[in-house]
Amino acid sequence: MSALHFFKPDLLWLLPLALLPLVSYGVKQFNFPGLEDWPKDFISDSLKWGVRALAVLALTALIVASAAPFTEGGTVTRVGDGAEIVIVLDRSGSMSEPLQNYDQSVDAKPMSKIEASRKVLLKFMEQRPADTFGVVAFNAAPVSVAPLSSDREIAKAAMLSAEANSSGFTALNRALAMGLDYFQNRPFTASRLILLVSDGDAVIEKEDREILKKSFKQTRAKLIWVYVHAGAEKNILSSVIAGDNEYITGAELQQIEMNQNVAMNKLFEELEIPYQAFEVNSEQGLQRAVTEIAQMTNKPTRYEYRLPRQDYAVYLYLLAMFLLGALFWLKQIEIKSWKA
């Protein structure tokens, strides 16, 4: 059994005052010249000490209730179903490029990387009724477009509203930090996952890596990067002058981008956190990656659930009210004077 604690233990010093009714208990007494010849009245003596005892108990209950007694709830081990998933979706300009392997049937329109990602992720949400979802979209700055909640419609609307938009560098580190903030001040009751859907091309500074590493460990979240690329990347910068009469060829630019994304993957591995990457260049590849992610997050999560503390003040106040009611009733039926 849990030990009893008091929120205001100093008030317990007032407990000796509860003995005052033993000195003076407020019942009317009648004076007679002498009662020696009267037979001993057991009922009267019992009533006298009974009234005093009721008064002592009433005062004791009020004082102890004022000290706010409680017991700690303790912890129990529970098994959580589903997962808490924060989708961090890249909406930089490069995500508007078409996938390399799309359906080229008659009248088929090339599907961009962000369109294919939205389509697959929306289907993923529908297949995961036990999960809670949150959405962060980012390009030059992260935007919290849907809080982490079980309201699936908000998350779906957030996904549908995410459009590719080119506006400078990609703020990946701030987007991941915002996604991790979703887990702050929440009890750990299910698997936690940051699902990064991006085509890479981002840099995370050394000091930001340490912050991310600390946040991932604090929230006990796992990182999965779905690297969406379009195969032979095309970029209008392939013919820009880089120096004196020096041109960056398309092959050189592709190699630079490839090296950068390899460096990102290595960076995530060096964070010393649960991490896995999937490289896809088609809608079917995206679907396979998401299916595998679903299997990974279907495992039950064991966690310690802290039970709320049990307060007893309300029960003592009720007891005091009952005892005071009984004393009031006894006072009402008290004989005020002897009839002549």
CB 76 within 8 A of CB 306: no
What is the DSSP code (8-state) at residue 78? Answer: E
Portions of the chain given CATH number 3.40.50.410: 77-305
Lowest-confidence region among 35-39, 105-109, 112-116 = 105-109
pLDDT at 79 over 70: no
CA dist 249 and 53 (Å) reads 98
What is the DSSP code (8-state) at residue 108? Answer: P
- Residues 6 or more apart in contact with residue 63 via CB below 8 angstroms: 11, 12, 14, 15, 17, 18
pLDDT band at 318 (very low <50, low <70, confident <90, very high): very high
Closest residue by Cα to residue 99 from 273, 216, 231, 260: 231
CA dist 42 and 67 (Å) reads 37
Looking at residue 166, its pLDDT comes to 58
pLDDT > 90: what percent of the chain?
12
Token match 């299997």: residue?
Answer: 295
CA dist 298 and 83 (Å) reads 8
- Residues 6 or more apart in contact with residue 336 via CB below 8 angstroms: 28
pLDDT > 70: what percent of the chain?
75
pLDDT at 28 over 50: yes
What is the DSSP code (8-state) at residue 203? Answer: -
CB 160 within 8 A of CB 152: no
CB 330 within 8 A of CB 68: no
Looking at residue 320, its pLDDT comes to 92
The DSSP bridge partners found for residue 101 are: 282
In which element (H, E) is residue 90 found?
strand 83-90
Average pLDDT of the chain to the nearest whole number: 77
CA dist 138 and 209 (Å) reads 18
pLDDT band at 13 (very low <50, low <70, confident <90, very high): very high
Residue 287, judged by CB atoms within 10 A of its CB (0-12, 13-18, 19+), counts as middle
pLDDT band at 34 (very low <50, low <70, confident <90, very high): low
CA-derived radius of gyration, the chain: 36
Hey, what are 245's tokens?
């009469």
* 185-232: pLDDT as tens digits: 887 777 888 999 888 766 777 788 888 888 988 988 889 888 887 654
pLDDT band at 5 (very low <50, low <70, confident <90, very high): confident
Looking at residue 103, its pLDDT comes to 52
Which pairs with CB-CB distance under 8 Å and at least 24 residues apart come from 289-298?
289/226, 290/120, 290/121, 290/123, 290/124, 290/226, 293/124, 293/193, 293/195, 293/224, 293/226, 294/124, 294/127, 294/128, 296/224, 297/82, 297/83, 297/85, 297/131, 297/191, 297/193
Lowest-confidence region among 6-15, 66-75, 162-171, 271-280 = 162-171
Looking at residue 232, its pLDDT comes to 46
What is the DSSP code (8-state) at residue 82? Answer: S
* 132-183: pLDDT as tens digits: 889 998 887 888 888 888 788 888 888 888 776 655 567 888 889 999 999 8
Q: Which residue has the higher pLDDT, 112 or 317?
A: 317
* 264-282: pLDDT as tens digits: 777 888 888 888 888 887 7
Beta 246-247 vs 75-80: how paired, if at all? unpaired
Is the domain spanning 77-305 CATH 3.40.50.620? The answer is no
Looking at residue 190, its pLDDT comes to 77
Q: Which residue has the higher pLDDT, 340 or 134?
A: 134
Which pairs with CB-CB distance under 8 Å and at least 24 residues apart come from 99-102?
99/228, 99/230, 99/231, 99/281, 99/282, 99/283, 100/229, 100/230, 100/231, 100/232, 100/281, 100/282, 101/231, 101/281, 101/282, 101/283, 101/284, 101/285, 102/282, 102/283
CA dist 52 and 54 (Å) reads 5
Q: Which residue has the higher pLDDT, 36 or 45?
A: 45
